[in-house]
Amino acid sequence: MTPGTVTEVTIDGCNDCYYVDTGMYDTDGYGAAYVLDAERPAVVETGIGTNHERILEALEEIGIAREELAAIAVTHIHLDHAGGAGFLAEECPNADVCIPAAGASLLADPGRLVDGTKAAVGDQWEFYTEPKPIPEKRIRELEDGDVIDLGDYELRVHEAPGHAFHQVVFENPENDAVFTGDAAGIWLPDREEIVETSPPSDFDLQQCLDDLETIAAIDPDVLLYTHFGPRYVGDDLETVLETYGDVLSSWVESVEEKRHELEDDDALIDHFAETIGSERAGTWGKRKASAEAAMNVRGVLGALDAE
């Protein structure tokens, strides 16, 4: 898949759902935005803001006028999920911008969010664009248990604060699907592998494991990953979620063990940036894979220091 490509989710039983590769970080197959072609259409996830035009072009290709879009929903306010929300809101004047309440104010006035993102992503910031503030009157704050009514479809809100305190997942019962945000890890479809995500500054391992239980209780057949793409799980859901729990737990353990060995956090970050960067270079390219690993190490270190 190349950036800008719009793909229909063709998993049996999952209808009217599409995803577009936003080309995030100039990387194929890393960031997806979804379009649900409902009676009241919705976009789920908005990318980093850069190349937000690809989402608008996807709406046009699917046959949804900008004025018809009813909801722009983000699972959390990290800018790789919510950075395009203000741009889309400006172009789609009738859409509610549906944001977890815990982080909504930071998208209305994104200065602190930008500062935090720059600290988290380092030189990857060059791929971002400054997010547009979202007028408060356009924002719908989401709480656990809320429902976004799209007419013939709905998105049910479940809090999932392990990856970030402001994260939710969206259950789409008509499609027996969950938009996972980062609660179920990062899916590498070309390798059929799930890998860790543990960015600063709010990563909490135990809460992440609890979030997997939340998804298990919903019991979907389909996981719609922001990173990256749809995945049919069916009766294998329990195994899929347990696998990610093991991956994440082992990741934290490996960082902690290597920290004791090296006794230097800069060396520790460099170690994982090099080893994981080389391992996943074929999927994302060496630079992105290394930067992702470094960010995830910093998130684990922050969690360890907070214990």
Q: Which two tokens stand for residue 210?
A: 């609890």
The pLDDT confidence band at residue 71, using thresholds 50, 70 and 90, is very high
Average per-residue pLDDT in the chain? 96
Count of beta carbons in the 10 Å neighbourhood of residue 248 = 24
Would you call 230 helix, strand, or coil by DSSP? strand
pLDDT in the model for residue 2: 86
Closest of 167, 87, 100, 92 to residue 134, by C-alpha = 87
Q: Is the pTM of this model over 0.85?
A: yes
Alpha-carbon separation of residue 1 from 11, 21, 35, 58, 109 (angstroms): 17, 7, 17, 14, 34
Domain ranges of the chain: 6-236
Give the containing element (helix H, strand E) for 168.
Answer: strand 168-172
Q: What class, spelled out in words, does domain 6-236 have in CATH?
A: alpha beta
Identify the band that residue 307 occupies on the pLDDT scale cut at 50, 70 and 90. confident
**The pLDDT value given to residue 260:** 95
Burial code (b: 16+ CB inside 10 Å, e: under 16) for 82-112 equals bbbbbbbbebbeebbbbbbbbbbbbbbebee
Strand duo 177-181 + 222-225: pairing:
parallel
Mean pLDDT along residues 31-47: 98
The b-or-e profile of 157-174 (16+ CB within 10 A means b, else e) is bbbbbbbbbbbbbbbbeb
The alpha-carbon radius of gyration of the chain (Å, integer) is 18
Residue 193: per-residue pLDDT: 97
Q: What is the pLDDT of residues 95-150, one digit of tens each?
A: 999 999 999 999 999 999 999 999 999 889 999 999 999 999 999 999 999 999 99
Tokens for 153?
């479809």
Handedness of CA 219, 183, 76, 130 (dihedral sign): negative
- Digit-coded pLDDT (tens) for 199-240: 999 999 999 999 999 999 999 999 999 999 999 999 999 999
- Residue type (1 letter), 21: D
Residue 243's CB: how many other CB atoms inside 10 A? 15
Closest by CA position to 1, among listed 25, 19, 16: 19
Which tokens belong to 272? 């994982």
70-79 mean pLDDT: 98
